[in-house]
Amino acid sequence: MCRSHSASACGHCHHALSRRGFLHGCGAAVATVGALGTRPARAAEDGKKVRVAAVFLANPAARENWPWTNFDAQGRQQEIMTLLRAECPDVEFEPLMISNAGEIPKVQALNDQVDGYFFYTVTLATPSQVVHEIAKLGKPIVVANEFLGGCSAFLNICTVATRQQIPIGKVSTTRLSDLVTVVRQFADLRKPGMTPQLFAQQCERAYQESFPTLGEMQCAEDSLACTEIAECVKRLQESRFLIVGAGRPGQEREFLGAQARYIDFDELGALYDKVDRDEAAEWAKRFASQSGDLPAGDYIEPSRPAEGVVDKAGAMYLATLDLLKKYDTDTVTMNCLGGFASGKLASYPCLGFMQLLDDGGQGVCEAQPDDTVSMLMARILTGRPGFVSDPTIDTSQNQIVYAHCVATTKPFGPQSDPNDYRIRTLHNRDPQGACAESLLPSGYMTTTFRTNIARRQLVIHRAKSLGALDTEKGCRTKLIGEVCGDSYKLLDRWMDFSWHRVTVFGDVQEPLAEFGKALGLEVIHEA
């Protein structure tokens, strides 16, 4: 069992990864046979190769996209296919790329020509339902994902497959040799008695043989006194929060005892119009003066938002404060992406949300009550802000990367010293947006969880913080965690609880579980 230790350093403590180191690990340049460390199997002596449809799922033009908008999906497909053809000589591939559900018949049309299917989720926006449609045809399937690319689609495919008992081989890794190891299993499809179920089991065995052996993880000392559970329940049930840009304006609703009020964009917009622009400019200067610089030439998009954008973010922060004051709360969740894309928000609220989190309040993305209640639970229990994220899993290192465009710079609470951050555009690369890339610290135990209020459940795992991942892929703040437990197990049911999770610094799995049980929630340990 992984526990926090009183230690200033740790044998497993990694420095923040560089962009180039990350891309090398992901195999952005196709690895050679020698670099993969294994020799390819011999081609079949009878010359009859197993035929596999290699289906790449990608919609690179989508606005809210990973790895980034207009990612070179075709180029990535060519890299992956060059590698697989070189390393899997007993398999003949029929490549295809589809971007929407209307193209599923193109995949189905290949069924009489192929022995199995390999799916690769390239971008966040993908027609992931194709996998479950093809599964009805009863042929062996392998699914893999582009790290910090098609992660949500991949996790959804895995979760539905678990729920519906669909046998698939699954690969989530930054190490392309792992992908080769699993795809090579297709060469055995013509063995007598090979079924999709047996094939999936063979893929899992071969894949898991490549996993690292982990020892005990020591962490930096982190003294934390948690609030008594009875007091936690009381304070949660006394809490109020706002949901902006979703639901019926004026409606109130209870979430695990906390009261939420729905607010429309017009009400926030009226407050934005009244903000003192000089005061907003002062906040913009404060945000900018405390941020660090981006490495020169190391990013594919503008290093800073367009002129005046941070001033607008300062004005949105002041308007949000006025809205919170009006309703006597310090907690808000907002349909930020939808509001800005539709023109109903004059600015993204991200920098202001960072400030709220640093000051002991809460600004939460995407109008998510479950995230907001989870954040409240973490803050009430620990006095520390949570970090809502869209995680992606790297089984090659038993790691998970928690990624989002809003994060605190004070993960140990409002009285602690801030960590560094950079002002960036958002993941969509829109120069009219601004957010903080928070360089969260390494060496500490973290606890990650989320409530599913409708199902009365709380899912939870722990990970050792390894610091910030430095890459332009995905959302801006990216915290690396070394999982306490089995990262492969995380693939099975992740999307049963939403893509989002909430991470709080501290080894608080047990008190959070106790808090959840006191609220009547079933606690599920997912790793």
pLDDT of residue 299: 55
Cα torsion 425, 429, 432, 433 to 10°: value is: -40
Q: Confidence band (pLDDT; 50, 70, 90) for 294?
A: low
Enclosing domain of residue 501: 229-525
Q: Residue holding tokens 């607010």? A: 263
Same domain, residue pair 193 and 238: no
Residue 479 and residue 468 in contact, taking contact as beta carbons nearer than 8 Å? yes
Residue 23 lies in a domain: no
- Three-state DSSP class for residue 199: helix
Same domain, residue pair 253 and 178: no
- Average pLDDT in the 98-119 region? 96
Same domain, residue pair 436 and 337: yes
Same domain, residue pair 195 and 294: no
β-sheet with 258-263: strand ranges across: 252-255, 258-263, 240-244, 331-334, 362-365
Q: Confidence band (pLDDT; 50, 70, 90) for 48?
A: confident
pLDDT digits (tens, 9 = 90+) for 398-454: 999 999 999 999 999 999 999 999 999 999 888 899 999 999 999 999 999 999 999
Other beta carbons less than 10 A from residue 38's beta carbon: 13
Same domain, residue pair 193 and 293: no
Last residue of a domain, one of 208, 238, 259: 208
CA dist 397 and 173 (Å) reads: 8
Q: Confidence band (pLDDT; 50, 70, 90) for 302?
A: low
pLDDT digits (tens, 9 = 90+) for 52-73: 999 999 999 998 999 998 999 9
Residue 109 and residue 135 in contact, taking contact as beta carbons nearer than 8 Å? no
Same domain, residue pair 199 and 53: yes
Q: How far is CA 515 from CA 74, 208, 449, 520, in A?
A: 48, 34, 12, 9
pTM over 0.85: yes
pLDDT of residue 41: 39
Residue 22 lies in a domain: no
Residue 296 lies in a domain: yes
Q: How far is CA 418 from CA 133, 357, 427, 439, in A?
A: 48, 11, 23, 10
pLDDT of residue 215: 63
Which CATH number do you get for residue 138?
3.40.50.2300
pLDDT digits (tens, 9 = 90+) for 137-163: 999 999 999 999 999 999 999 999 999
Residue 209 has pLDDT above 50, yes or no: yes
Residue 222 lies in a domain: no
Same domain, residue pair 511 and 442: yes
Terminal Cα-to-Cα distance of the chain (whole angstroms): 12
Residue 461 lies in a domain: yes
Residue 84 and residue 54 in contact, taking contact as beta carbons nearer than 8 Å? yes
Between 41 and 173, whose confidence is greater?
Answer: 173
Q: Confidence band (pLDDT; 50, 70, 90) for 42?
A: very low
pLDDT digits (tens, 9 = 90+) for 310-344: 999 999 999 999 999 999 999 999 999 999 999 99
Closest C-alpha to 157, from 143, 146, 147: 143
Same domain, residue pair 204 and 67: yes
Same domain, residue pair 282 and 356: yes
**How many domains does the chain divide into?**
2
Closest C-alpha to 272, from 305, 336, 309, 321: 321
Residue 25 lies in a domain: no
Which CATH number do you get for residue 447?
3.20.14
